[in-house]
Amino acid sequence: MKQNNKIVIAIDGFSSCGKSTMAKGLAKRIGYIYIDSGAMYRAVTLYCINHNLIDGNLIDENSLKKQMQNIHIEFKINTQSGRPETWLNGKNVEQEIRSMQVSNLVSPVSALKFVRTAMTTQQQALGKAKGIVMDGRDIGTTVFPHAELKIFVTASAETRAKRRLDELKAKGENISYQEVLKNVQERDYIDQNRSESPLKKADDAILLDNSDMTLEEQDKWLYEQYQKALFK
């Protein structure tokens, strides 16, 4: 068994495939910290929107670079739901960062090298004591290349868009399937093709296609992988 029993678990994969659902569930079950690294990139994007650093598709990179030191992101547990929520500069932005406006701009912001460097440094600090489940795009390749358990999740774009659409509709958002599918496909493309830490499966990651899995099945599967990694 691993020394002090705690490991690092990296869950990467394509947009809206269920990474955070799985990661959150496992972290809760085994008493680990859960970090949604995508929420951090979303918070930086929201900061850009609120400070007029994006005009159309153009990011004011020089201003953003200077202002990176003003961007403070925290995760706090909501005492009612027991779930971690994202705070940006002292304000709870958990809902705002999930909007389509942010979703449509987050991948170009995340492709900037200085943004990635800043987020990676913070993510590595959060994982220093191990006992963490982090999901994202580059956790197994760049943030925690030595993670004891790495999972790479995928599902067809259509399945992922349908899942996200159902979620957004349940929250009362008026949005079409085509719009969600387009966003999922565009983010996947940018995330896979950027030069800095592109989305890709780490060589030692376990591939999971959960297109035909229920939530319960994938939770069970992940827990089994955790147990195997713990006793490896």
Q: Which residues are annotated as a binding site for ATP?
A: 13-21
DSSP 142: I
Residues 5-35 as b or e (16 or more Cβ within 10 Å = b): eebbbbbbbbbbbbbbbbbbbbbeebebebb
Is 197 among the residues that bind ligand ATP (CB under 6 A)?
Answer: no
Q: For residue 88, what are the β-bridge partners?
A: 73, 91
Rule CB under 6 A: choose which of 22, 27, 53, 106 binds ligand L45E5XJ5: 106
Rule CB under 6 A: choose which of 17, 37, 88, 208 binds ligand L45E5XJ5: 37
Q: Residue 203 and residue 16: Cα distance in Å, rounded?
A: 22
Site for ligand ATP in 28-87 (CB under 6 A): 38
130 makes contact, choosing from ligand ATP, ligand L45E5XJ5, none, with CB < 5 to 8 Å by partner type, with: none
Rule CB under 6 A: choose which of 46, 47, 53, 110 binds ligand L45E5XJ5: 110
The DSSP element (H or E) to which 22 belongs, if any, is helix 19-30
Instruction: Name which of 222, 218, 202 is nearest 210 in CA terms.
Output: 218
Q: Which stretch binds ligand ATP (CB under 6 A): 45-53, 87-95, 124-132, 206-214?
A: 206-214
Annotated binding site: 13-21
191 makes contact, choosing from ligand ATP, ligand L45E5XJ5, none, with CB < 5 to 8 Å by partner type, with: ligand L45E5XJ5
Q: How far is the CB of 41 from ligand ATP (least distance, A)?
A: 10
CB closer to ligand ATP out of 120 and 210? 210
Using CB under 6 A as the criterion, what x/- string covers residues 186-225 for binding ligand L45E5XJ5? -x---x----------------------------------
What residue ranges in the chain does DSSP mark as E strands?
8-13, 33-36, 54-55, 58-59, 73-77, 84-88, 91-92, 132-136, 149-154, 206-209
Decide if 136 contacts 9 (C-beta within 8 A). no
Is 165 among the residues that bind ligand ATP (CB under 6 A)?
Answer: no
Helices and strands in the chain: count of H runs, count of E runs: 8, 10
Interface residues with ligand L45E5XJ5 (CB under 6 A)? 15, 37-38, 41-42, 106-107, 110, 136-139, 187, 191
